[in-house]
Amino acid sequence: MTLRVGILGAAGYTGIELIRLIDLHPHLELTYVAARENAGQKLGKVVPSTQGVPGLGDMNLERFESEDAQKIAQELDVVFTALPHAASARLGGALLDAGTQVVDLSADFRLRDLETYEQWYGVHPRPDLISQAVYGLPEIYREELKSAQLIACPGCYPTSAILPLVPLLREKLIEIDSTIIIDAKTGASGAGRKASPVTNFSEASEGMRPYKVAGGHRHTPEMEQELSLAAGKNLKVLFTPQLVPMIRGILTTTYARIKPGVSAEQCREAAMSHLGDTLVTVMPASRLPDTLHVRGSGRAQVAYELDERTGLLLGMCAIDNLARGSSAQAIQALNVSREFCETDGIPRLATFP
Active centre residues (catalytic): 156
Angle of the 328-338 helix axis to the 13-24 helix axis, nearest 10: 50
In our burial notation (b when 16+ CB lie closer than 10 A, e otherwise), range 202-225 reads: eebeeeeeeeeeeeebbbbbbbbb
Q: How far apart are CA 225 and CA 50, in angstroms?
A: 38
Judge contact between 298 and 138, C-beta under 8 A.
Answer: no
Q: How far apart are CA 165 and CA 256, in angstroms?
A: 9
Dihedral sign, Cα of residue 321, residue 327, residue 328, residue 334: positive
Phi, psi of 256 (to 5 degrees): -145, 150
CA 114 to chain centre: 21
| DSSP letter for each residue of 261-283 | T--HHHHHHHHHHHH-SSSEEEP
Judge contact between 245 and 206, C-beta under 8 A.
Answer: yes
User: Which of these, 132, 131, 107, lies nearest to 119 by C-alpha position?
Assistant: 107
